[in-house]
Amino acid sequence: MDIKTNEVLDAKGLACPMPIVKTKKTIKNLDAGQVLKVEATDKGSTADMKAWAEKTGHQYLGTTEENDVLSHYIRKSSDEDSQEKQYPHVVDNEVLQSLDEDAIVLDVRESAEYAFGHIPGSKSIPLGELDERMSEIGDTKNIYVVCRTGNRSDMAAQKLAAKGYNHVYNVVPGMSGWSGETTKSN
């Protein structure tokens, strides 16, 4: 699984609580929404990272393991949950679950978020890459933009509409309230 991250922290060989201590220090230097990859060998670090992220408000995305090295992915929290949504064409998750073939589900979360769970058939273009990759999206179908809570998808929907895309819908609350099927990237 090739996951784009903004920073990698080497915590291999460290025992509890040091991976958390180093993670706490490192994540302070990241911008809101950026993804930190923490490499650790302490088997207990998976539960520790998840609990720490939940306690501090950061988003624990998931953990992979390769050659006895655990890679924990954590997205730095932001104030996106409390920001006002502005794009006028909003649909809820129920509408998204009943879509037909004539629709595009555009996931604008970071690649690490997408890798650990996304709607089957959705297209991943992180918000930060949307301007450069907009040509990958056909403009003849309905476009349903999804993120974790509806804030990044709101911004993406506004960008698409400003570039002349018609039939763009922001999905609220997005993946934080999604109860349908999900899949992981290989």
- pLDDT value for 81: 46
- pLDDT value for 80: 55
CB burial class (10 A; 0-12, 13-18, 19+) of residue 110?
Answer: buried
CB-CB neighbours of 164 under 10 Å: 7
CB-CB neighbours of 95 under 10 Å: 13
Question: Residue 142 phi/psi, 5° resolution?
Answer: -70, 135
The whole-model pTM stands at 0.70
- pLDDT value for 82: 41
Known catalytic residues are 16
CB-CB neighbours of 133 under 10 Å: 12
CB burial class (10 A; 0-12, 13-18, 19+) of residue 58?
Answer: buried
Question: DSSP per residue over 134-151, as a string?
Answer: GGGS-SSSEEEEE-SSSH
Q: Which residues are within 8 A (CB) of 165 and not within 5 positions of it... i.e. 6 or more apart?
A: 137, 139, 143
Helix (H) or strand (E) holding 107: strand 103-107
- pLDDT value for 20: 93
Computed on alpha carbons and rounded to an integer, the radius of gyration of the chain in Å comes to 17
Q: Distance between CA atoms of 126 and 147, rounded to whole angstroms?
A: 9
- pLDDT value for 26: 97
pLDDT in tens, the chain (186 residues): 678 999 999 999 998 889 999 999 999 999 999 999 999 999 889 988 988 887 888 999 999 999 999 999 999 987 654 445 588 999 999 998 888 778 999 999 999 999 999 999 999 999 989 999 999 998 888 999 999 988 899 989 999 999 999 899 999 999 999 999 999 987
Q: Distance between CA atoms of 104 and 86, rounded to whole angstroms?
A: 21
Q: Distance between CA atoms of 74 and 52, rounded to whole angstroms?
A: 10
